[in-house]
Amino acid sequence: MKKLYVSNKDESVRMFKSSFLELFSKVHWSIPLFIFLPAISYLMYLAIISQNIGLLQVAAWFVGGIGIWTVTEYVLHRWLFHYEPPGKLGKRMHFIFHGVHHDYPNDSKRLVMPPAVSLPLATAFYFLFRNVVVHDGFFAFFAGFLAGYLFYDMLHYAIHHAPMKGKIWMALKTHHLKHHFKDPDAGYGVSSPLWDIVVGSEFKTGKEQKAGQKQVTLD
């Protein structure tokens, strides 16, 4: 990504010639709440009422699902959303997937994932994990996974459009805005900077940047 941003205003750009497709590319920030809160509640009902495991196990599987979401979020953001295939078609695909958000980061209608994308992805992950997590804790696990996603979506909107107070919230906001306006090739975590720290994609300090530039010069 050569450009860090085009606009920092709440404005949009047309993505599709088709008005029908364009309609599905925009969504109000509250829509994921109406879709995924009932799904999470029902999964937790199945986990607590229909499964032969205790509440502590339900809680543990739920937290585990959140943890797996943070990994998934990092992997999707870094290696899918920031991947630009070669050619004009690749550039176009990248713009649709994520480039538009970096060019118009404060576009309030494109800050949460539209249902046309989130529902197929959620369905795919459901069947993927259903075959991997062969345990009575699956429903609690997937409820946690969806809760992690919903937190990510709401936090992402809040970072760009809501006043945030407190050290933790301001740290998360600063981390993500650095990704937009300082270095789009670092700081991929939105819900948490954990995996940036673990993998080594955290933002470089001034000393590290100078050391890198010096090394390039010597090479």
Q: pLDDT tens for the chain, 219 residues: list them.
A: 455 567 778 887 889 889 888 988 999 999 999 999 999 999 999 999 887 889 999 999 999 999 999 999 999 999 999 998 899 899 898 888 898 999 898 999 999 999 999 999 999 999 999 999 878 899 999 999 999 999 999 999 999 999 889 999 999 999 999 999 899 999 999 999 999 999 999 998 755 554 444 433 344
**Residues 81, 179: Cα–Cα separation, whole Å:** 13
**Is residue 11 in a domain?**
no
In a domain, 110, yes or no: yes
Whether residue 122 lies inside any domain: the answer is yes
Within-domain flag for 2: no
Tell me whether residue 162 is in a domain: yes
The answer as to whether 4 is a domain residue is no
C-alpha span between 213 and 219 (Å, rounded): 10
CB hemisphere CA count around 35 (13 angstroms): 22
**Number of residues assigned to the chain:** 219
Residue 13 inside a domain? The answer is: no
Give pTM, 2 decimals. Answer: 0.89
**Dihedral pair phi/psi, residue 47, rounded to 5°:** -65, -40
In a domain, 138, yes or no: yes
Residue 104 tokens, joined: 């118009």
Q: Identify residue 204 by its one-letter amino acid code.
A: K
Which residues contact residue 160 at a Cβ distance below 8 angstroms, ignoring those fewer than 6 apart? Answer: 105, 106, 108, 111
Tokens of 62: 């739920």
Contact criterion met (CB below 8 Å) for 50 and 137:
no
Number of domains in the chain: 1
Range of the domain at 69: 19-218
